[in-house]
Amino acid sequence: MFIENTFNILFRFLTTIFIMSNIEFKELKYGFKFGDTTIERHMSDEKKGWVVLGVETSKHKLQIYVTKTGKVRIHDEHGKEWLPLNDN
């Protein structure tokens, strides 16, 4: 339920923004397509509070793992983790 609520909030927010543009927008069963990007909810654990989203473009497939405390891990289709740049 947590992932569905989070995803629905994100979806409504982005839908409002994207409707104003001429870029293709299409609602999917578990997400949406906007231009060359497909965003879908993959799985969640309601008890532990984590969620996994997928972001796919013509050049990349990413899996975004978010913990209940907000920590984010991003992995590509090869299992390589995308690390944040050091912003110091």
44 DSSP β-pair partners: 51
pTM beyond 0.75: the answer is no
Instruction: Report the alpha-carbon distance of residue 85 to residue 69 in Å, rounded.
Output: 21
Cβ-Cβ contacts under 8 Å for 13 (sequence gap 6 or more): none
Per residue of the chain (88 residues), what is the pLDDT tens digit?
A: 555 666 667 666 666 655 566 778 888 999 999 889 999 999 999 999 999 999 999 999 999 999 999 999 999 999 999 988 876 5
Cβ-Cβ contacts under 8 Å for 46 (sequence gap 6 or more): 1, 2, 3
- 25 exposure class (CB count in 10 Å sphere: 0-12, 13-18, 19+): middle
